[in-house]
Amino acid sequence: MRKILILAGRYLPGYRDGGPVRSLVNLTDTFGAEYDFRIMCLDRDHGDTAPYPDIVTDGYNSVGKAKVWYTRQFTKGAVERLAEDADVVYVCGPYNDYARIAMRLKKSGKIKAPLYIASMGSFSAEAFKIKGFKKGLYIRYMKLAGMFDDVTWSVTSEREEDELKAIVGAGSRCVIAADLPRRGVTKHTTQKVPYELRLVFLSRISRKKNLAAIPQILEQSTDEHPIMLDIYGTGEDMDYLHECMYKLDDLKKSHPYFKWEYKGEAASEKVPDIFAQYDAFLFPTLGENYGHVIAESLSSGCIPVISDTTPWMDLDEKGCGYVCPYDDPSAFAEAVDELVSMSEEEIEIMRINCYSYIGSVDENSVKNSGYRKIFG
């Protein structure tokens, strides 16, 4: 069985990093019987000062279908030692300390195995704008130092490949390996109330996820019918969260039928059940290379109303959601108004379309997975 060493910021039982952790869990759940997955990651979740309880630090722990090496800090010696007998080294993201260590070890010949780096949406136009000057300097330095010469990039789509090559270089080697689905689904169980709408926003609270656009969207939506919005997310950027809260409170003053509540963090295993409680998922994100929350909302029959900065561009065509220009609040508002006016029978047709669509996407992503090309 081929041994795959994965370097990542965090893994289970952590969940605050959202999609990256879910990507790895889905990967190991899907292919854990085919490959020997070894994951090296930090010993605590994002923002925590204490390590996870009941773990062995700097030693392997059995976690699901992987063996996990928790560490307080990535070091050159530890990465080199764990990579010594790996058939493939797979790195989650290009900017972290473990990515730099792995590329230097590969450049010096200390890592013999093929080195793959997952782009993880780092090079989309909107993502690259965030701390863009610093990122630009880093990319230029790594290119001049030849650190990308021995790297093959793992991307989730042709679009992500084009975005990467525009920044890293046209000659960059890429393999397309789409993210994999969560095993098992949770079907929607509650009914829509006529001329009311239960909306949910579920994601990390960061500027990239664009929570601040929601007050602009709902301000342009009808104020004649009750709209309830619940927000789930880790407080990654508390200043930004408070800024959004103030805007939502102002909206509430001028729209008497609007209610909202911040529900706090959502543990990964509870996400499907959360989505199953709502009519629609409002997600005006500035960019996703995949968007696990979109897949999970579809699986739970929660209608996605999303921006046009994700791979999920055919939801309108498939009758299971709405794709709106990320910078056009009025387009989102029109979708919200249409959903408000729907009966339970009408929205149930969309839910059935959601289940059918995500089922076919999931089946195809496993059957034709590019990960088998990467892992060999």
Nearest Cα to Cα of residue 46 among 78, 19, 82, 77: 19
Burial class of residue 335 (count of CB atoms within 10 Å of its CB; 0-12, 13-18, 19+): buried
Residue 185: the pLDDT is 60
Q: Say if 187 falls within a structural domain.
A: no
Amino acid at 325: P
Task: Pull the structure tokens for residue 301.
Answer: 């029959």
**Same domain for 60 and 165?**
yes
Query: Both 15 and 95 in a single domain?
Result: yes
Residues 139 and 242 in one domain: no
Asked if 293 and 369 sit in the same domain, the reply is no
Per-residue pLDDT tens listing for the chain (376 residues): 999 999 999 999 998 887 789 889 989 999 999 999 999 999 999 888 999 999 999 999 999 999 999 999 999 999 999 999 999 999 999 999 999 999 999 999 999 999 999 998 888 877 777 777 888 898 999 999 899 999 999 998 888 999 999 999 999 999 999 888 776 666 777 789 889 999 999 999 999 999 999 999 999 987 788 999 999 998 778 899 999 999 999 999 889 899 999 999 988 888 999 999 999 999 999 988 888 899 999 999 999 999 999 999 999 999 999 999 999 999 999 999 999 999 999 999 999 999 999 988 888 878 889 999 999 9
pLDDT of residue 18: 77
The CATH number of the domain holding residue 95 is: 3.40.50.2000
- Let me know if residue 186 belongs to a domain: no
Instruction: Verify that 336 and 219 share a domain, yes or no.
Output: yes
In a domain, 188, yes or no: no
Length of the chain: 376
Q: Which amino acid is at 178?
A: A
What type of residue sits at position 279?
A: D
Kindly give the residue spans of alpha helices, DSSP state H, lying in the chain: 19-31, 76-83, 97-107, 125-129, 132-144, 158-168, 213-219, 238-254, 271-275, 292-299, 315-318, 329-341, 344-367, 371-375
**Whether residues 88 and 123 fall in one domain:** yes
Both 142 and 213 in one domain: the answer is: no
Half-sphere exposure of 319 (CA within 13 A, CB side): 10
Do residue 105 and residue 212 come from a single domain? no
Token pair recorded at residue 52: 């996870």
Q: Do both 215 and 343 map to the same domain?
A: yes
Distance CA 26, CA 18 (A): 12
pLDDT at 254: 87
Number of domains making up the chain: 2
Residues 113 and 228 in one domain: no
Q: What is the 3-state secondary structure (H, E, C) of 312-325?
A: CCCHHHHCCCEEEC
In a domain, 191, yes or no: no
Residues in CB range of 292: below 8 A, 6 or more apart: 18, 19, 22, 23, 26, 179, 182
> Quick one: pLDDT at residue 186?
67
* Whether residues 142 and 280 fall in one domain: no
Q: Are residues 217 and 356 in the same domain?
A: yes
Phi, psi of 18 (to 5 degrees): 65, -120
| Residue 100, in any domain of the structure | yes
Residue span of the structural domain in which 60 resides = 3-180+364-375
Looking at residue 184, what is its pLDDT? 60
